[in-house]
Amino acid sequence: MRNLLVELFVEELPPKALKKLGEAFASQVAEQLRALGLASGESVITPFASPRRLGAHITHVAAKAADKAVQQKLMPVSVGLDASGNATPALLKKLQALGADVSDPVFAVAGLRKAPDGKADALFYDSQVSGATLDVGLQQALDVALAKLPIPKVMSYQLESDCELPGWSSVNFVRPAHGLVALHGDTVVPVKVLGLTSGNTTQGHRFEAAKSPVVVPDADSYAQTLLADGAVIASFADRRAAIVQQLNQAAAQLGHGVRAIEDEALLDEVTALVERPNVLVCEFEPQFLDVPQECLILTMKANQKYFPLLDASGKLTNQFLVVSNISPEDASFVVGGNERVVRPRLADAEFFFDQDRKKSLASRVAGLDKVVYHNKLGTQGERMGRVCDIARAIAQLLEPACAVSDPHGLVQRADTAARLAKTDLLTDMVGEFPELQGIMGGYYALNDGLSTEVAQAIEDHYKPRFAGDELPRNLTGVVVALADKLETLVGLFGIGNLPTGDKDPFALRRHALGVIRMLIELDIQLNLDTIIGRTSRAFDLLIEMLPETEQMEFGYNEARLRDFIFDRLAGLLREQGYSALEVDAVLALKPQRLGDVPKRLAAVRAFTALPEAPALAAANKRISNILKKADAAAVADAHVSELLLQEPAEIALYAAMQDIAPRAQTQFEAGDYAASLQTLAALRVPVDAFFEDVMVNAEALDLRLNRLGLLKTLHQAMNQVADLSRLAA
């Protein structure tokens, strides 16, 4: 057992894919070696990935796998042996195919084993299979690993040794490969891939390597040798950590609470661009800070891979950090070059900002009619007309509750924000940087003299954009965000563009979760069916233009949307730590006020802790089954007549309900769900007695209907907070 090192030296790999490529290469090689018995579960895998190499260090790798005893079923005895017990031609042919010696048929048969196999005996051939050697196993592992790499785009290139034979010796890989290292301890493992033969030499940094080539003495000294002789940090994780440390040190030296902007994706990409990082401080002219900082930050990150610096208050400074791939004694030329490169980018952002402000958002509204949204749902102009309609409707539902504290007209502000929300799509800045849509709309709204609340609503109407994102900052923004997301959901569900599997091209799952989060976390007092129905009405004109069959489908898919939202809600609640039983019990009732759901869940959790809970949940399940099996019309007409109560247990249950149910109902209506369920827990004793002593399906019709009515009343009283029958084991 010795440690194994494999490295494939290539031309510069795609930076956004490097981390995944490195991890996949190492894990696939190790997985294949384990499958062949050359590595074990105790083997530790260390991936290496730099701009010009993929590698893996694997501990406890054997030079040869252990031999295996193999048992093979050949055929039934009646087929393999004749009446005299001699081998049949079929048996001899099978043995020969397996490599057995059949020169002496008697000896060949003597080496077989008879054993029962179902109803008849069968012949079995036991043999010893030699374990794979490392050179054979590693060759197989590399072939499989390279074939399974998640390569974004394969390129074809010609092998250097066969340049005179165009088209005959080309290979396919993510980038041309130029070297292969394979060391088992200090021994080279003879393998070949991509036209390369393994050795123990590689190449270091293009400009700063101390030696060329770099000789790797053994598997365990690979990383240290490459760093010392090649000026390369081979480990992606170590290189990333070094960049983070240097970024923090450089920012700290500037003082005044300055810090580098945090961006995990940018950090991964920069790590994939350098072999030995060197962080340098650069700056640009302060005049560019008059441009919204989001524009400057985005152009520096997206186009130049720089790390902008923020002050203690989170405001952009005119300094930034560059992660260089070289470390010259005099870094002034590197700093100056980066400062010259960033200046035109910032000047472009400044130009776009100045040009856009010459035209108001309101003047751009008509231009939305020329932008296609969806071939079945019309233009962006038509879409925003629907969003305005929905936003006004939602605002009208909410305005009475906020009229005292907000007398300036929620409906009017929501209508204005919704009408202008998408106009920044027509600006030069958003045309250059689509990621700034909404954000630039907010800036331009303030420039047009609109109120801060409307400007924030325009900026925030895309929120939440992703899991964990913040919600809109004011009620106007919430109204417009709800309207925008509901219009998308109802429209796309209406025309049948539903998510399937992992495909969700219109991000409908994210839109649904956005609606859910706003309604729950902000406790918005809106009924889900009401706002979905009101959103559908905004499509009336569009629906009228559809064929009759598609009109029916539109309405059918509206019901599917409700189920879709509750499915997303169930998943979200389970992620938050609620049990499947708790979630199922609450959502079975399809509560319309989603803001009530957390309170209902808390009440159910408190109820399940009561000693009466299991019995009441079981009783509820029994009641549900009885009511389902009974005649639906009979149950619908069933009511309770005190005169028809005969058995002491049903009289006692009725009396208990007359006392307990009104108190529980009052608590429920006041929103104190936990108290309501706790009050109902007192029904356990009379409920248990009822089922023990009373025959529900009495022969007399009037008694049967009366008892069904009693159970229906009990069921309605106990299942307002949640369907307690779902809690039964």
Residues 274 and 324 sit within 8 Å (Cβ to Cβ) = yes
Angle between helices 380-402 and 410-420 (to 10 degrees): 160
Per-residue pLDDT of 643-679, as tens digits, reads 888 889 999 999 999 999 999 999 999 999 999 999 9
Report the distance separating Cα 534 and Cα 391, nearest Å: 10
Mean pLDDT of 75-86: 85
Q: Where are the alpha helices (DSSP H) in 330-474?
A: 332-356, 380-402, 410-420, 428-432, 439-447, 452-460
* Per-residue confidence band for 159, with pLDDT thresholds at 50, 70 and 90: confident
Statement: 600-727 belongs to CATH 2.60.40: no
- Please state the rounded mean pLDDT for residues 55-78: 88
Cis ω before 116 (30° cut-off from 0): no
Could you tell me what percent of the chain has a pLDDT over 70? Answer: 97
Tell whether the model's pLDDT for residue 503 goes beyond 80.
yes
Instruction: Give residues with Cβ within 8 angstroms of 615, minimum separation 6.
Output: 684, 687, 688
pLDDT value of position 116: 87
Domain ranges of the chain: 2-65+133-230, 70-129, 236-356, 367-577, 600-727
In one-letter notation, the amino acid at residue 317 is T
Looking at the predicted structure, is the pLDDT value of residue 540 above 60? yes
| Banded pLDDT at 507 (limits 50, 70, 90) | very high
40-to-3, 32, 35, 136, 270 alpha-carbon distances in Å: 12, 11, 9, 17, 34
SS (H, E, C) 178-225: EEEEEEECCEECCCEECCEECECEECCCCCCCCCCCEECCCHHHHHHH
Q: Which amino acid is at 548?
A: E
The predicted pLDDT at position 729 comes to 66
Q: What average pLDDT does range 90-110 have in this prediction?
A: 80
Tally of CA atoms within 13 A in the half-sphere of 247 that contains its CB: 24
Query: What pLDDT score was predicted for residue 128?
Result: 74
Q: In what order do the strands lie in the sheet with 278-283?
A: 259-260, 307-310, 316-324, 278-283
Q: Do domains 2-65+133-230 and 600-727 have the same CATH topology?
A: no
Separation of alpha carbons 379 and 366, rounded Å: 11
CATH class of residue range 367-577: mainly alpha
Is the confidence at residue 119, as pLDDT, over 60? Answer: yes
The pLDDT of residue 112 is above 90 = no
Predicted pLDDT at 403? 54
pLDDT at 68 over 70: yes
Q: How far apart are CA 108 and CA 287, in angstroms?
A: 93
Degrees to nearest 5, angle at CA 389 with 383 and 393: 145
- Does pLDDT of 492 surpass 60? yes
pLDDT exceeds 90 at position 345: yes
The residues, ordered by sequence, that sit 6+ positions from 37 with a Cβ below 8 Å of its Cβ are 62, 65, 66, 68, 131, 132
Tell me the pLDDT tens digit for each residue of 622-639. Answer: 988 888 887 777 677 778
Chain centroid to CA 604: 29
Q: Output the pLDDT for position 522.
A: 93
The pLDDT-based confidence of 168 (bands split at 50, 70, 90) is low
pLDDT of 555 strictly over 90: no
- Output the six-digit token pair for 445: 């709204």
Cβ 316 vs Cβ 296: under 8 Å: yes
Rounded mean pLDDT, 481-510 = 91
Question: Chain-centre distance of CA 543, in angstroms?
Answer: 34
Return the amino acid letter for 11: E
pLDDT at 318 over 60: yes
Q: 344: cis peptide before it, omega within 30°? A: no
Q: CB neighbours of 468 closer than 8 A, spacing ≥ 6? A: none
Write down the pLDDT at residue 200: 97
| Over residues 125-143, mean pLDDT | 89
Taking the chain, what is the end-to-end CA distance rounded to the nearest angstrom? 52
Residue 696 banded pLDDT, cuts 50, 70, 90: confident
Can you tell me the distance from the alpha carbon of 259 to that of 277, in angstroms, rounded to the nearest whole number? Answer: 18
508-517 residue pLDDT tens: 999 999 999 9
The mean pLDDT value for 146-166 works out to 76
pTM across the whole model: 0.81
Pairing state between β 192-193 and 170-173: unpaired
C-alpha distances (whole Å) from 66 to each of 182, 189, 678 are 22, 18, 65
- Say yes or no to pLDDT of 104 above 80: no
Residue 137: its pLDDT value, please? 95
Residue 67 banded pLDDT, cuts 50, 70, 90: confident
Q: Over 70: is that where the pLDDT of 344 sits?
A: yes
Pairing mode, if any, of strands 170-173 and 155-158? antiparallel
For residue 161, pLDDT beyond 70: no
What is residue 183's predicted lDDT score, i.e. its pLDDT?
Answer: 97
Q: Whole-angstrom Cα distance, residue 139 to residue 137?
A: 5
Q: In which band, very low, low, confident or very high, does the pLDDT at 700 lie, cut at 50, 70 and 90?
A: confident
Contact 38, 137 (CB under 8 A): yes
Q: What is the mean pLDDT of residues 117-132?
A: 82
Whether 578 and 545 have beta carbons less than 8 Å apart is answered as no
User: Chain-wide mean pLDDT for the chain?
Assistant: 91
pLDDT at 565: 96
How high is the pLDDT of residue 323?
Answer: 97
- Look at domain 2-65+133-230 and name its CATH class: alpha beta
pLDDT reading at 120 higher than 90: no
Where residue 445 falls among pLDDT bands split at 50, 70, 90? very high
- The predicted pLDDT at position 69 comes to 74
Most confidently modeled range among 68-72, 80-84, 97-101, 531-535: 531-535
Instruction: 107-113: list long-range contacts, CB under 8 Å, 24+ apart.
Output: 109/81, 109/85, 112/74, 112/80
| Residues in contact with 79: Cβ distance below 8 Å, sequence separation at least 6, in sequence order | 88, 90, 91
**In three state form, how does the secondary structure of 550-594 look?**
HHHHHHHHHHHHHHHHHHHHHHHHHHCCCCHHHHHHHHCCCCCCH
